[in-house]
Structure 1
Amino acid sequence: MATVVDCPTCGKKVEWSEKNKYRPFCSERCKQIDLGAWAEEKYSIPAVTPPADPDEDGSAH
């Protein structure tokens, strides 16, 4: 049985198999829309600044 996933762009059900050359997308169009969003830096992972280490005061011990 083939795995079925949702197209990341439009949500259409797509069979994840070698028959679908655009997987995980449903079509060339959806693949290009996603590539365009990536190129425009619309996808990002928020950076988290770690808390300051209270033992580090900048001086050598």
Structure 2
Amino acid sequence: MAAKLLKRQARESGSAPSAKTFTPSALVRMYCIRDDHIHVLTEVKREYENKVLELTNKLEVDLK
């Protein structure tokens, strides 16, 4: 979604988007992401990765 918005803005202004446009700080400003949101998302990601690892290990054991 951010990419579409940035591309549209670039078309309207007549300039091409640069790699610098996609910095996390730009996205934070664009979406008003707060530190507590980042903390929650980090925790969810960590739990997801742990569950994937757990299921992968279980599958490997089951396949042996």
TM (normalized to structure 1)?
Answer: 0.34
> Greater strand share, 1 or 2?
1
Q: Which has the higher contact order (CA 8 A, sep 6+)?
A: 1
